[in-house]
Amino acid sequence: MRMLVTGVAGQVARALAERGPEHGIAVSTIGRPVLNLADPDSVMDALRPIETDIIVNAAAYTAVDGAETDPKTAYAVNEIGAGAVAAAARHKSVPIIHLSTDYVFNGQSDEPYREDDPVSPLGIYGRSKLAGEYAVADAQPDHAILRTAWVFSPFGKNFVRTMLRLAEERDEVAVVADQHGSPTGAYDIVDGIIAVARNLLAWPDDPRLRGVFHMTGTGHTTWAEFARFIFKVSAESDGPSARVRSITTAEYPTPAVRPANSCLDCSKLAANHAVVLPRWEIAVFQCVQRLLRERLEETV
């Protein structure tokens, strides 16, 4: 399989580039300056010459707080740019897998969100990603839109790396304890994407394999408990650790409002694609161990 991935520096794009060959997949990543989703008119020209069997749109504007003051760029990338990538996929007669987010929901439900639950984003980031879902679906019917949440990996800007860095600087870290969700490792996302891609290519006329799906790590927790587990794993390998002081969302105000409940029901993905991601704790353990190992190697 040949897989074309938008984005080069993002967590999922980097994980796909690393993990894809292990699955016998030829992964080509493309990003700025060759491909700039903020300039949708350039997308077709950038993607047209690259031969591929499927496109994965992993590129996005992900600065949740920054989107509140820069909605023009957020919508250009997450809506118009995503739609342009999907249009290129249709032009090339290949399916597209598009990554989306739990932020399309307002987080006020007491239950994990299903794909057919009403969407109601709280901020610009969520609204732009939801608009992108519609743009992708309109431009290329042969699509799978995968909503995920709380993504982390050994690289890029994410919660695991931030917590380990803070633990090296202080003895105590204040972390929000009234937001719930499912931490999701980028490599688990990659394994899920590859499985979905194979299904789309194997059964090109099966409507059950197309549409919107939720894909997160199994299990759920709070940011505070997430941090405690990170520090536990790190401490057990003589890595940095800190005490976690639980605080409320109100005690940690941000420009963009976060959903209180980011838990997603992933049963549709399991039923239609036979994909179930591992427990989030497994991915956290692997991620922390790799970061500690790489830090040790840098000091040798």
Residues ≥6 apart with Cβ < 8 Å to 253:
none
Q: DSSP letter string over 222-281?
A: EHHHHHHHHHHHHHHTT----EEEEE-GGGS--SSPPPSB--B--HHHHHHH---PPBHH
Q: For this structure, is 125 an active site residue?
A: yes
Cβ atoms of 31 and 14 closer than 8 Å = no
The CATH architecture of the domain made up of 2-157+183-218+263-278 is: 3-Layer(aba) Sandwich (3.40)
| Dihedral angle, C-alpha 123, 129, 135, 140, nearest 10 ° | -160
pLDDT, one tens digit per residue, over 199-246 is 999 999 999 999 999 999 999 999 999 999 999 999 999 999 999 999
Q: Which of 207, 193, 183, 168 lies closest to 284, judged by CA?
A: 183
Please give the pLDDT value at position 40. Answer: 84
Query: Which pLDDT value is given to residue 294?
Result: 85
The series of mean pLDDT values per 10 residues for the chain, 300 residues long, is 94 95 93 89 90 96 94 96 97 97 96 97 97 98 98 95 96 97 98 98 97 98 98 96 96 92 98 98 97 75
Q: What is the pLDDT of residue 296?
A: 67
Owner of token pair 């390998």: 237
User: Exactly one of 113, 125, 134, 252 is catalytic; which is it?
Assistant: 125
Per-residue confidence (pLDDT) for residue 298, from 0 to 100: 63
Domain ranges, ordered by start, for the chain: 2-157+183-218+263-278
Q: How many CB atoms lie within 10 A of CB 238?
A: 9
